[in-house]
Each structure stands twice: as C-alpha cells, then as structure tokens.
C-alpha cells in the first residue's frame, strides 16, 4: 500500500447541521470545501474541541461532497462530549485530511467492508468509491444493539448490501460480525475493516483463513496525530511499502519496524502487521 503525500491543512469550518443518530451518537456536517476536495476514503481529521482547553481528537471523515464534510462520533469522554454541544452556525477548527486511507486502486469484483461500532464513521467514503467503480460492496456491520447500528440505511441507499450483527440479537445475526464474514457468499476479493482492535484481529484471522487480502484501519489514542511524537506505533514488516525508512537499519537489523498509525496508517495490510 503506497504511503501518499499528505495535503493536510488547518480548516476553520462552520457547523452546518447536527443530527443525533442514536443516544450519544452525533453527526455534524461542516462547511469545508477545501477539505472535501483533497479527502481520500479512510482518512481522518484531528478536531479541535471548541473551548480551547483540550487536545485535538481523531475522527474519521464520514461524508465529503460538494462544500460539506461530516464527522460522526460516539460520546466517549470529555472531548467528544464538548463536540456534542456544537450547534449549526458554531465555528469548528480541524486539521486534515490525515493518514493514508484505504488503497482502492485494484480492480476488484466483490468487496467486504467490516465495521464495528464507531468504525462505521470511516467506511462510507470507501463504500461509495467502490460502488462508483462498479464493485459489489457488502457491509458487515456489528454493534451492541439495533439502536447502535447507526445510519445503516444510508449504506443501502448507496447500493451497498447489508449484513448486520448485534451482540444482543436485537437485529440480524446474534454475535460477532466476523461470524458473518466467515461465511460470506460470494467470497470477497478484498476485505476492508475499521473498528475495535479485537474485531480487527478477528477479521485478520478470517481473511487469512479465506485467503483474501485485508486492509485494516487501526485504532489508537493519538497525541499529536500528525507523525511528530511516535506515540502511536504498531510493529510492521520492514519490507512493507509503508515501513518508515530508518537509514542503516538494513545490516543485520530486525525484520520488524515501528510504523506510526497516524502517519504511515491508519490503514495497513493485515498480512504485513506483526501484532504481538
Ligand atoms: C484514526 C482514528 C479515527 C477515529 N475516528 C472516530 C470516529 O470517526 N468517531 C468516533 O466516535 N471515534 C473515532 N475515533 C476514536 C476517538 O478518537 C476516541 O474515542 C477519542 O479518545 C475520544 O475522545 P474523548 O476525549 O471524548 O474520550 P477519551 O477520554 O479520550 O476516551 C474515552 C474512553 O474511550 C477509550 N478510548 C480512547 N481512545 C480510544 C480508541 N482509539 N479506541 C478505543 N477506545 C478508545 C478510552 O480508554 C476511554 O475509556 C477514532 C480514532 C482514531 C485513531
Ligand atoms: S500520535 Fe504522534 S506520531 Fe502518531
């Protein structure tokens, strides 16, 4: 997966719309034409909580069309709680687009997108791009309850086939979404996934079993979010095209190198990760 040059900038946006998709799950549309024009599917932004007292928070770019981009977030702690107080007309600064995004360059027939919880916020753009390119796109979407399967109808409206799983069985398959992926018909040519780490690890295992290449968008708590602090690393095969180049590391060095999730990622090929 090539590491692409970032076109990130700080964008001073204005909130256009605010929707509560479920209790504690917000969708904010912002006026951000310059961000929309350079965003690739799977990239994220560092959003600056408006009171100026807290660090920026990483959020996926959910929609990007015309002059409007949107972010979707689950209120998890103080920064997302602060963002939840925003209303249309309020200013909001964000830095982006950041990270590499998904590699959609291959011509594939069937793609399985696996999303768990907040992971759904990073997979609408790749789904739209793949449908536009003529792929058959299947979304395997898992959440705790039906209420938390937020915005699933938007994917259906965009020509995506839905396969849902809930922990409590209130909708679709009862259990993990990777249980559905395991029995995917037709077998996908490519898997993309975004969600909690246990789901990503399970997706990697299923992909290996099915012998299908998988790209995983990893979760991490970011400090800077722009590659400066090396506080978000993951072990990666040194031969990966995404591996950072450390001069002099060739001679007898380890075959594993640390890659920054915020900079070289957040999307990595599953078979190139060297998770412990
Ligand atoms: C590339 C990327 C994209 C993301 N996109 C989105 C998105 O589109 N929508 C969204 O709702 N969230 C997203 N997140 C997660 C979000 O950045 C964190 O949940 C963030 O910590 C919330 O900040 P907070 O101050 O509200 O809560 P915090 O106080 O920072 O965290 C609250 C709770 O969540 C846990 N937590 C913190 N970070 C993570 C994490 N990365 N994964 C799992 N648990 C975590 C903490 O341990 C704590 O228990 C993304 C994260 C990354 C790295
Ligand atoms: S969070 Fe600082 S390098 Fe990734």
For the CA of 262, the nearest atom of ligand 2: 4
Could you tell me the distance, in angstroms and rounded to a whole number, from the CA of residue 16 to the centre of ligand 2? Answer: 30
Asked which of 1-15, 110-124, 141-155 is least confident by mean pLDDT, the reply is 1-15
CB 255 within 8 A of CB 237: yes
Predicted pLDDT at 191: 98
Is 128 a residue whose pLDDT tops 90?
yes
Say what percent of the chain tops pLDDT 70.
95
Could you tell me the distance, in angstroms and rounded to a whole number, from the CA of residue 120 to the centre of ligand 1? Answer: 13
| Res. 250 pLDDT band, cuts 50 70 90 | low
Q: Give CA–CA dist 92/189, Å, rounded.
A: 39
Residue range 137-167, pLDDT digits in tens: 999 999 999 999 999 999 999 999 999 999 9
| Pocket of ligand 2, beta carbon within 6 A | 222-225, 227-232, 260, 262-263
Q: 273: closest CA among 241, 245, 235?
A: 235
Is 106 a residue whose pLDDT tops 60?
yes
Mark 9-19 as b/e (b = at least 16 C-beta within 10 Å). eebebebbebe
Task: Specify the long-range contacts of residues 15-22, CB closer than 8 Å, at least 24 apart.
Answer: 15/86, 15/87, 15/88, 15/89, 15/90, 15/91, 15/92, 16/68, 16/88, 17/88, 18/86, 18/87, 18/88, 21/72, 21/150, 21/151, 22/147, 22/148, 22/150
| Res. 252 pLDDT band, cuts 50 70 90 | low
Q: Whose atoms come closest to the Cα of 220: which ligand?
A: 1
Residue nearest to atom 41 of ligand 1 (CA): 220
| Pocket of ligand 1, beta carbon within 6 A | 44, 57-60, 72-74, 76-80, 118, 121-122, 219-222, 266
Is 195 a residue whose pLDDT tops 80?
yes
Could you tell me the distance, in angstroms and rounded to a whole number, from the CA of residue 110 to the centre of ligand 1? Answer: 30
Q: Give CA–CA dist 275/216, Å, rounded.
A: 12
Match 């020509």 to its residue by tokens.
Answer: 159
CB 116 within 8 A of CB 219: no
* Mutation to probe ligand 2, out of 100, 218, 219, 260 (largest number of atoms < 8 A from CB): 260
Could you tell me the distance, in angstroms and rounded to a whole number, from the CA of residue 144 to the centre of ligand 2? Answer: 30
ipTM score for this prediction: 0.92
Asked which of 148-162, 170-184, 250-264 is least confident by mean pLDDT, the reply is 250-264
For the CA of 222, the nearest atom of ligand 2: 1
Largest interatomic CA distance in the chain: 57
* Mutation to probe ligand 1, out of 58, 98, 99, 222 (largest number of atoms < 8 A from CB): 58
Is 251 a residue whose pLDDT tops 90?
no
* Mutation to probe ligand 2, out of 58, 98, 228, 236 (largest number of atoms < 8 A from CB): 228
- Average pLDDT over every residue of 203-211: 97
Is 59 a residue whose pLDDT tops 90?
yes
Q: Give CA–CA dist 218/195, Å, rounded.
A: 7
Contacts of 235 (CB under 8 A, 6+ apart): 256, 257, 258, 259, 273, 274, 275, 276
Predicted pLDDT at 1: 53
Could you tell me the distance, in angstroms and rounded to a whole number, from the CA of residue 258 to the centre of ligand 2? Answer: 12
Is 46 a residue whose pLDDT tops 60?
yes
Is 4 a residue whose pLDDT tops 70?
no
| Res. 2 pLDDT band, cuts 50 70 90 | very low
Is 20 a residue whose pLDDT tops 90?
yes
| Res. 6 pLDDT band, cuts 50 70 90 | low
CA distances from 129 to 11, 16, 105, 226 (A): 24, 24, 11, 25
Q: Give burial (CB, 10 Å; 0-12/13-18/19+) of 239.
A: exposed
Mark 111-121 as b/e (b = at least 16 C-beta within 10 Å). bbbbbbbbbbb
Q: Give burial (CB, 10 Å; 0-12/13-18/19+) of 134.
A: exposed
Residues in the chain: 276
């Amino acid at each position: 997966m090539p590491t692409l040059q970032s076109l990130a900038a700080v964008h001073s946006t204005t909130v256009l719309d605010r929707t509560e998709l479920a209790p504690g799950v917000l969708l904010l549309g912002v006026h951000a034409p310059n961000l929309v024009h350079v965003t690739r599917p799977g990239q994220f932004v560092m959003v600056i909580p408006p009171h100026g007292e807290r660090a920026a928070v990483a959020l996926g770019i959910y929609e990007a069309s015309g002059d409007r981009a949107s972010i979707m977030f689950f209120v998890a702690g103080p920064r997302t709680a602060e963002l939840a107080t925003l209303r249309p007309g309020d200013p909001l600064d964000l830095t982006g687009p950041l990270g590499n995004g998904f590699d959609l360059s291959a011509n594939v027939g069937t793609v399985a997108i696996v999303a768990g919880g907040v992971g759904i916020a990073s997979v609408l753009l790749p789904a739209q791009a793949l449908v536009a390119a003529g792929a058959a796109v299947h979304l395997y979407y898992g959440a705790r309850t039906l209420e938390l399967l937020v915005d699933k109808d938007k994917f259906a409206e965009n020509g995506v086939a839905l396969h849902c799983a809930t922990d409590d069985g209130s909708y679709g398959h009862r259990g993990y979404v990777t249980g559905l992926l395991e029995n995917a018909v037709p077998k996908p040519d490519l898997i993309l996934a975004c969600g909690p780490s246990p789901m990503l690890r399970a997706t990697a295992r299923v992909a290996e079993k099915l012998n299908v290449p998988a790209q995983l968008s990893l979760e991490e708590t970011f400090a800077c979010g722009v590659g400066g602090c090396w506080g978000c690393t993951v072990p990666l095969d040194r031969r990966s095209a995404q591996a950072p180049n450390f001069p002099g590391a060739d001679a007898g060095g380890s075959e594993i190198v640390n890659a920054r999730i915020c900079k070289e990622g957040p999307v990595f090929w599953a078979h190139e990760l060297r998770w412990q």
